[in-house]
Structure 1
Amino acid sequence: MATLIAEIPDHSLKGALEALSPYVKPENLKLFSPIAVPKDQGDDELAKLAQKVVDAVRPKPSQPLRREALQKLLSGHDTFSNQTGQADPALRNAMGAISKALKTVFAHDQAVRRLAIPKKTHFPDGAYRGTVYILTPLGARVRDLLKAENAI
């Protein structure tokens, strides 16, 4: 048995059903009305949280290191590839300042992990290679908002 789906205006529905009646038993006719797809409430909450984070970490013109740190954090920074394996104390300090600013939004110590999760990487022989920051959905939303403002 085949299924026929057609969008029929309300004023034509009676005529369409009468036209189908010689071919389809009445018990096989089923009427459906479209419903709106429910909006994901999680998106609204994520957007509100992202805006709070943006307000907390938005770099001021006098904070170029914060701007640079946010760019790196929110772009999937790889300490080995981007820093050739060298430590960057200025970046570490700027990340600390971002973490401190995030305490106004998140109460826990490692709030930066809500934006990007640091993952230590190793060479095949097991030696430490560096850290890669993996962006979270919240981090991606924050990045998009900051880019839209030209803040990063």
Structure 2
Amino acid sequence: MLSTPDWPDLPDSVDDASGLLPSLLHELWDLLNSCEDLIEQVGGGRAERRELRILRTRASAVCVDASGTELRQLMVRVREFQIDLLRCGDRWDVLVFHSLADLREEMTSRPQADAALAEGRRALAEGDREALSAVNRRLRRLLRPGGEA
């Protein structure tokens, strides 16, 4: 499971957070633009486009009258929306596979992990989403307790 990024603690008032807000607002708009790109790629429907409009409207409001709490909440919601869009397309399993491959050193059995990673690379090369999804499940089971992807 993906977790939200570790954003710095934001003060609740804009004045206290003036140094952090510009970069976080820029990140928020980058996320929204990424969501728009994903909608175009996965053929999002009316519901996805409506949700994006709502999120953009909220982002515009946060830019005008931002508080640290509102910005954090909106960024979490946009990240969740982005993950939902990724799951609709064919990229989700690929992203999960690469994340799990990065965690190879954290796996309980490196030989089993290496075999699964090789199988995952073959599935990627062949475009076999079902096989890649099965490999991801095997790799998740090999993670040490406390490690998640």
TM-score by length of 1: 0.26
TM-score by length of 2: 0.26
Q: Which has the higher helix share?
A: 2
Q: Which has the higher strand share?
A: 1
For the pair shown, the structure with the greater C-alpha radius of gyration is 1
